[in-house]
Amino acid sequence: MVQAVILFLVGLALICLGGDRLVDAAVAIARKLGIPQIVVGATIVSIGTTLPEVLVSTTAAFNGSAAISAGNALGSIICNTALIAGLSQTIKPSKQVEAASLTWRSIFFFAVLVSMNVIGLITGAFGRPVGVALILLFVLYAVLSIKRASVEGGDEEEKEDAAEVSIPKELLKLVVCAVMLFVGANLLVDNGILIAQAIGVPERVIAVTFIALGTSLPELMTSVMSLVKGYGNVGLGNVIGANILNILLVIGIPSAIAGIPLERSTVTVDMPLAALVMLVLLVPILIRKKSSRIQGIALLCIYAVYCVASFV
């Protein structure tokens, strides 16, 4: 028990430090290339912070437990949006959001999620063809992000201020920080589960709360550090990009490997709830080009109800 607590704290320290440095490196790259912060958050940063979910799901698939992948991915989407985005928008709502970069990503997200929901309702599983299709969609998403980055240009003053920034050095920082987040999240999840088991928390509750929250901690820390440093759009972009990657990779890779059998509640509760929280987050931002505290409070309330329902 003592060892588990120590390793839990080590994991927390790694996540705090990694999240802090990752935000700095991402913003430096955004300024150097003249790319909006929200675009960097939705691409480079989200890839790094989604690594824990990808590893958990891929490992589960190779171990014959692919069914955990859909729950992990959808639980992380709900956590990312309702808890992390909800908390950040409650503390400091986003102003002057780049709506163009959000619009196509929002359409992309909902098109894929609705299609998967229909497939899940009809077939009760995500087979290998679905997994391959999701991985190909990830390639398409990456290509679109790269192509549109030049269109969604940033502020020229910021570009001039970043003249001394070294892109290779900042990319190396991003990789190192992503590894720190990945290792820290694993330590937190593994030892958090041991601590929970020691105090008698049921296994199902551990899976729904500790695993989903634990693998979303990189997004949480990135969002918190973004707010602290005044780069809120990085955190917002990170949440949206991570949600897209959760569908395309966290579900896509295990599906391509072994196929994923679905529980009825996954397609009747988790998927609709994932869509609902994303609608609450995105629709007002796309209409008003900014968010509000009311959105954040609403998202936090939804997450609270979700957690209570899971425990019950």
| Torsion angles phi and psi, residue 237, rounded to 5 | -65, -35
CB of 79 within 8 A of CB of 299?
Answer: no
CA end-to-end span of the chain, whole Å?
27
* Token code pair at residue 96: 């002057």
Q: What is the pLDDT of residues 122-157, one digit of tens each?
A: 998 899 999 999 999 998 988 888 777 666 555 444
Q: What is the pLDDT of residues 27-82, one digit of tens each?
A: 777 777 777 766 777 776 777 767 777 777 777 677 676 666 777 788 889 988 99
CB of 25 within 8 A of CB of 173?
Answer: yes
A 10 A CB-CB count for 202 gives 11
- Please give the tally of structural domains in the chain: 1
- How many whole angstroms separate alpha carbon 132 and alpha carbon 253? 8
CATH of the domain at 19: 1.20.1420.30
Find the domain containing 288 and state its range. 2-311
Q: What is this structure's pTM?
A: 0.76
Q: Where are the alpha helices (DSSP H) in the chain?
A: 2-33, 37-40, 46-49, 51-62, 67-78, 86-91, 99-123, 128-149, 156-161, 167-198, 203-206, 212-228, 232-245, 252-258, 264-265, 271-288, 293-311
Three-state SS for 98? coil
